[in-house]
Structure 1
Amino acid sequence: MKTTTTLLGGAVLALLAGAAQAEVSVQGSSGTLKFSGYADAGVTGGDGLKDDGYGLISLKVKAETPKEDTLRFGATVSLKMYAQEGDVLVRDNEVWMSGDFGRLAFGDIDSAYDVAMEETGMFVGMDDVHTSHVGYDTHAIADYNGAEVRKLVRFDRDFNPFTVHVSAGRDGADEMVLSLGGTWTKDLGPAEMKLGLGHQSTDGMKLTGVTALAKFDNGLRLGADWSTADYEPGAKEFFEEHVGLGVNYSKDRLSMGVNWGRFDGGDRDGLEGVGVDVNWKLSKSAILSAGWNSDASWADGDQARYGVGVRVVF
Structure 2
Amino acid sequence: MKKILFATTALIATAGIASAEVALTGWAEMGIMGGENGVDNSNDQFVTRVDATFTMSGESDNGITFGASVDLDETDGATSNAFVEADQGGETIFISGDFGTLTMGDTDGALDKAVAETDLMGDIDDSSTGFSVKGMAFMDTVSDANGQIARFDYSVAGFGLSVSAATPNTGDARANFGLGATYTVALGGADLDLGLGYQGGEDAEGWGLSAGTTVAGVTMVANYAEGIANAAGSADVVTKYYNIAATYSVDALTVGANYGEQHVDGVSTLKGFGLAAEYDLGGGLKVLAGYGESGDDVVGTLDQAASSYSLGLKMAF
TM-score if structure 2 supplies the norm length? 0.82
Q: Which runs of 5+ in 1 are unaligned?
A: 1-21, 82-88
Q: What is the aligned partner in structure 1 of residue 127 from structure 2? A: 129
Report whether the alignment pairs 1:40 with 2:33: no
Quick one: which amino acid aligns to residue 301 of structure 1? Answer: Q
Where in structure 2 are the equivalents of 1:1-314 lying within 5 Å?
Answer: 22-27=1-6, 28=8, 30-47=19-36, 48-66=41-59, 70-80=63-73, 91-133=89-131, 135-142=132-139, 150-171=147-168, 174-216=173-215, 218-233=216-231, 234-235=233-234, 237-265=236-264, 269-295=268-294, 300-314=303-317
Q: Considering only aligned residues, what root-mean-square deviation do their CA atoms show, in Å?
A: 2.6
- CA–CA separation in structure 2 for the residues paired with 1:110 and 1:228: 17
- CA–CA separation in structure 2 for the residues paired with 1:274 and 1:166: 32
SS of the aligned residue for 1:138 comes to coil
- Give yes or no for contact 1:143–1:205 (8 Å, CA) kept in 2: no
Q: What is the aligned partner in structure 1 of residue 16 from structure 2? A: none
Shift of 1:117: 1.2
SS of the aligned residue for 2:44 comes to strand
- CA–CA separation in structure 1 for the residues paired with 2:315 and 2:262: 35
- CA–CA separation in structure 1 for the residues paired with 2:102 and 2:297: 38
Quick one: which amino acid aligns to residue 264 of structure 2? Answer: G
Structure 1 range deviating more: 161-170 or 291-300: 291-300
- CA–CA separation in structure 1 for the residues paired with 2:164 and 2:66: 19
- Give yes or no for contact 1:176–1:202 (8 Å, CA) kept in 2: yes
Structure 1 range deviating more: 304-313 or 225-234: 225-234
Q: Which runs of 5+ in 2 are unaligned?
A: 12-18, 75-86
In the superposition, relative to structure 1, how do residues 287 and 99 fare at CA in structure 2: closer, same or farther (>3 Å)?
Answer: same
- Give yes or no for contact 1:144–1:231 (8 Å, CA) kept in 2: no
- Give yes or no for contact 2:122–2:129 (8 Å, CA) kept in 1: no
Shift of 1:69: 5.2
- CA–CA separation in structure 2 for the residues paired with 1:277 and 1:67: 44
In the superposition, relative to structure 1, how do residues 136 and 298 fare at CA in structure 2: closer, same or farther (>3 Å)?
Answer: farther
How many residues are paired up? 285
Quick one: which amino acid aligns to residue 227 of structure 2? Answer: A
Structure 1 range deviating more: 136-145 or 26-35: 136-145
In the superposition, relative to structure 1, how do residues 79 and 143 fare at CA in structure 2: closer, same or farther (>3 Å)?
Answer: closer
Quick one: which amino acid aligns to residue 312 of structure 1? Answer: M
SS of the aligned residue for 1:127 comes to coil
- Give yes or no for contact 2:144–2:166 (8 Å, CA) kept in 1: no
- Comparing both structures, which one devotes a greater share of its residues to helix? 1
- Give yes or no for contact 1:147–1:171 (8 Å, CA) kept in 2: yes
In the superposition, relative to structure 1, how do residues 227 and 147 fare at CA in structure 2: closer, same or farther (>3 Å)?
Answer: same
Shift of 1:26: 2.8
Query: 1:241-287, CA deviations, whole angstroms, 9 ceiling, x for partnerless residues?
Result: 12111111123211121011112216973211101111111222101
